[in-house]
Amino acid sequence: MIGRELQRRQRYQTPLSLLFLDIDQFKAVNDTFGHETGDLVLQYVASFLKERVREADYLFRWGGDEFLVLMSCELDQAMQKGVDLKADFATAAETAKLPAGVGLSFGCTEVPHGTEDVMPLVKEADRLMYEHKTAKRARRKRRRT
């Protein structure tokens, strides 16, 4: 699918961006409540994302608690989608039933014209997501002190 979208980007000059999402506190959920609860959190997040990602875009479970969205849009739109998903997740009624601290962090990058391999871009989006997550932790820590 990704290869096909890269070809479409090349042929039709369509914009393409990657949105990389990670579940905050997922390891703590597994360690504290067990893998069964972790699995329920994963199922909820997957369902939440599936409901909010356009049908024209692609949603992948990338790794343990990571998701990748391949979006046919410019970077600013992908970033706004990340902000919206994070905010919607934080205020969703079902999210309140999850263990404390579960949230979403994200990073995104635009796929440049002529890209043949998205892996460096996925790594960049992942790096940006970790920067986002680190900044969020630092803000939380400052509020406690």
Active site residue 84: no
Q: Which two tokens stand for residue 96?
A: 């309140």
Helix (H, G, I), strand (E, B) or coil at 32: helix
Could you say which of 22, 24, 65, 126 is catalytic? Answer: 65
User: Is the distance from CB of 17 to CB of 71 less than 8 angstroms?
Assistant: yes
How far is residue 17's CA from residue 77's CA, in Å, rounded to a whole number? 9
Alpha-helical regions (H) of the chain: 2-12, 26-33, 35-52, 75-91, 119-144
Amino acid type, 128: L
CA distances from residue 8 to 13, 28, 85, 138 in whole angstroms, order as listed: 7, 40, 26, 40
Q: Catalytic amino acids? A: 65
